[in-house]
């Protein structure tokens, strides 16, 4: 089945992550965290472009006012690409200088939820943080070993969040003001058979899609946490995914080449053909309100 998977970029991204669909730019953005790069793939002309950063970059999220917010090793950062500018907002974890921001998404209230991790991964010092529209930030939960993959239910009454190091995905309830409560287990992975849960996205039908780091596949879970189906992928270390395109019926998947010298597909941006999605489509990308 992996022969049906479309190769969008060349392989080799050390840690491809954080795919983002931009309707504004008709493009998919994704990062190579360890390569310090932001990549862009335009859907109209299939062109590829990248920008180099002075430090690891975990993700970008569009701003309503234009430009992006980026999650850099040094913290939350305002970003423009043309011209290229960076403006530091703040570090949510100054007490942990070896930590970095790892994965993030915006919610319907215009805020960014971002996880973090300890870069050597020898300490459980990561957390879940939230950047408010006024550029202040708040610690939400932790500690985590590898805080990863936030995503939301279509009605924004739930946020799903991963600790890849523990092999667990959690779910919180969200009230009408976006305050979280009632954290509980959503899915637990068996590392020997599943790999580790990594990035996630939600489809318009309420399914939660999870990337399997070390498991060479993506899986769709029903809202009750039961497995619906899986799609095998050509690379072992699958990191995240995003629905894209005008109809949100295309799924782009990132992967990582780090520690995979014999995996010739590792570090490729893939596209899953529409028939393999079984009719599921995505939700519009949300932007940061600040």
Per-residue pLDDT of 39-90, as tens digits, reads 999 999 999 999 999 999 999 999 999 999 999 999 999 999 999 999 999 9
Q: Residue 193 and residue 126: Cα distance in Å, rounded?
A: 25
Burial of residue 8, with CB atoms counted within 10 A of its CB: 0-12 exposed, 13-18 middle, 19 or more buried: middle
CATH code of the domain occupying 2-277? 2.120.10.30
Q: Residue 128 and residue 169: Cα distance in Å, rounded?
A: 13
Instruction: Specify the higher pLDDT residue, 191 or 188.
Output: 188
Tens of pLDDT, residues 7-16: 999 999 999 9
User: Above 90 in pLDDT, residue 3?
Assistant: no
Three-state DSSP state, 260? coil
pLDDT at 194: 93
User: Which residues are paired to 28 by β-bridges?
Assistant: 21, 41
Cα four-point dihedral sign 75, 215, 269, 279: negative
Average model confidence (pLDDT) across the chain: 97
Of the pLDDT bands very low, low, confident and very high (cuts 50, 70, 90), residue 1 is: low
pLDDT at 121: 86
Binding site feature residues for a divalent metal cation: 17, 148, 198
pLDDT at 286: 99
Q: Residue 80 and residue 67: Cα distance in Å, rounded?
A: 5
Indicate the length of the chain as a whole number: 290
Binding site feature residues: 17, 100, 102, 148, 198
- Spatial contact of 189 and 166, defined as CB atoms under 8 Å apart: no
Tens of pLDDT, residues 102-135: 999 999 999 999 999 999 888 899 999 999 999 9
Tens of pLDDT, residues 238-264: 999 999 999 999 999 999 999 999 999
pLDDT at 105: 99
Instruction: Choose among 187, 203, 212: nearest CA to 281.
Output: 203
The residue from 32, 103, 163, 198 that is catalytic is: 198
pLDDT mean over 133-147: 96
Q: How many CB atoms lie under 10 A from the CB of residue 138?
A: 11
pLDDT at 22: 99
Binding site feature residues for substrate: 100, 102
pTM of the model: 0.97
pLDDT at 7: 98
Domain residue extents for the chain: 2-277
Q: Residue 278 and residue 290: Cα distance in Å, rounded?
A: 36
Q: Is 98 a catalytic residue?
A: no
Of the pLDDT bands very low, low, confident and very high (cuts 50, 70, 90), residue 280 is: very high
- Spatial contact of 22 and 66, defined as CB atoms under 8 Å apart: no
Instruction: Specify the higher pLDDT residue, 192 or 39.
Output: 39
């Amino acid at each position: 089945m992996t022969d049906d998977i479309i190769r969008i970029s060349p392989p080799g991204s050390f840690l491809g992550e954080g795919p983002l669909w931009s309707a504004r730019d008709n493009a998919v953005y994704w990062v190579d965290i360890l390569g310090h790069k932001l990549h862009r793939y335009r859907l109209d002309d299939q062109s590829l472009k990248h920008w180099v950063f002075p430090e690891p970059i975990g993700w970008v999220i569009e701003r309503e006012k234009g430009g992006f917010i980026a999650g850099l090793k040094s913290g939350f950062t305002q970003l423009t690409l043309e011209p290229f500018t960076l403006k530091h907002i703040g570090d949510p974890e100054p007490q942990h200088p070896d930590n970095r921001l790892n994965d993030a998404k915006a919610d319907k209230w215009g805020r960014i939820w971002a996880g973090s991790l300890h870069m050597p991964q020898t300490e459980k010092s990561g957390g879940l943080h939230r950047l408010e529209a006024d550029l202040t930030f708040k610690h939400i939960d932790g500690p985590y070993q590898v805080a990863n993959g936030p995503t939301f239910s279509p009605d924004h009454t739930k946020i799903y969040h991963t600790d890849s190091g523990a092999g667990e995905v959690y779910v919180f309830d969200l009230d009408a003001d976006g305050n979280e409560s009632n954290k509980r287990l959503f899915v637990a992975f068996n590392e020997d058979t599943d790999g580790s849960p990594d990035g996630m996205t939600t489809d318009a039908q309420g399914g939660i899609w999870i990337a399997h780091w070390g498991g060479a596949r993506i899986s769709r879970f029903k809202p009750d946490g039961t497995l619906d189906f899986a799609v095998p992928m050509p690379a072992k270390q699958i990191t995240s995914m995003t629905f894209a395109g005008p109809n949100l019926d295309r799924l782009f998947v990132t992967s990582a080449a780090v520690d995979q010298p014999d995996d010739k597909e590792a570090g490729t941006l893939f596209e899953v053909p529409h028939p393999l999605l079984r009719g599921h489509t995505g939700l519009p990308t949300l932007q940061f309100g600040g």
